[in-house]
Amino acid sequence: MFASVLQVYRGNLSGFQVNALFGAYALGLIPALLVMAKVSDRLGRRRVLLAALLLSALGSAVILFSGGAFGTILAGRILVGVGAGSAFGPGTAWIKELSDTVKPSGRGAQRAAISLTAGFAIGPLLSGGIVQWLPSPQTTAYLVHIALVALTLPVVWRAPETASPPTERRGHSSNPGGGLMRVLTSRLFLTAVLPTAPWVFGTATVSLAALPVLVPLGGYGAVGGGVVAAITLGSGIAVQPWARRLARRSAAVPFRVGMASAIAGLLTAALTVATGSLLLLAATAVVLGAAYGLLLVSGLQLVQTLAGPENISTVIAVFYSLTYVGFAFPVLVQVLGRLWDPVPVLAAGSVLAATALATTLIAWPARPASRPRP
């Protein structure tokens, strides 16, 4: 939602403050991710998700009554981040556990990724329309969010709990991924998940937060930014079933295709900024959105495979924490773009993405072709 509402604050705040407000969300989100995942294992998914929704609504209320003050908006953004961080790990684990109880099973990662992405896609599009065409958008957008939270609370309250009590889990401690530290220090986590996870939201936020600022959108900045966000994240949803099919061939394929899309998307982003072309902006949003979707669903599938039932929520939380490092990317583009032109900054980003792609070759080294027996 906030990506489009940012347009309201651009007249009163500096470019750095605007991007800082966007990225401040991660300041609350990452610690909450790591803490609340363990809490949900003990108290259950439902209680944590209800608290997360209330925190999210409280954050919107703080921004609603901020009067446009940077410090108060910042505090509200951090509160919204805490709410989101409290939801993502336990929510993803909850969707996986519920998905395992129905046929066909094994679709938890895809369902969680689509749910997450749909919110990120619909939010900016809806709030973009509010900012562009409705009066008092800095009030209306937050009221809509608070109302949606109020509608969601009873639905979450009625959802079945899936987390087992701690005493019951101790009796079923065997798991394919071993203990938490064993998962986080495994070769696949260090060479596949760790280098590629920041590019999940790195690609998405460059498209939906950095490019609408760097490419002139005329008098339609708010709704235009919302459309760019919707194209980016809609593309992320569209590729997720494809990512699942690629993973059936090899776990490595969606990671490599996703990082290749990130490289291509950053290069086209540099060309978009250089030319100011709106057609290129739409195409870049599709490519970067595809990278986001491929890396998100493949990363979730891999960490769920590595984790066991007693640490799955925490492992997912660590993965999400790494993905949210990508929220710093638009701020970096803004800061470095002042020292140099944004075009070479974006092109340099593609080199870093190529380095992350190279690590997947270490994660899944090519096997030599077997020689036929004489």
- Write down the pLDDT at residue 315: 87
Cα distance between residue 239 and residue 265, in whole Å: 15
Q: How far apart are CA 66 and CA 2, in angstroms?
A: 15
Does residue 371 have a pLDDT over 60?
Answer: no
The pLDDT of residue 176 is: 42
Q: Is pLDDT of 60 > 90?
A: yes
Residue 373: the pLDDT is 56
CATH (domain of 53) = 1.20.1250.20
* Residues 216, 218: Cα–Cα separation, whole Å: 6
Q: Percent of the chain, pLDDT > 70?
A: 91
Is residue 79 assigned to a domain? yes
* Domain annotation covers residue 171: no
For residue 15, is it within any domain? yes
Indicate the average pLDDT of the chain: 84
pTM: 0.78
**Residue 369: inside a domain:** no
Give yes or no for residue 328 having a pLDDT over 90.
no
Residue 168's pLDDT is 52
DSSP classification of residue 365 = P
Which residue range forms the structural domain that includes residue 14? 2-160+177-363
The answer to whether residue 75 sits within a structural domain is yes
Domain count, the chain: 1
d(CA 219, CA 203): 26
Task: Check pLDDT > 60 for residue 135.
Answer: yes
Residue 175's pLDDT band (cuts 50, 70, 90): very low
Say yes or no to pLDDT of 225 above 50: yes
Checking if the pLDDT of 117 tops 90, the result is: no
Residue 368 belongs to a domain: no
pLDDT band at 99 (very low <50, low <70, confident <90, very high): confident
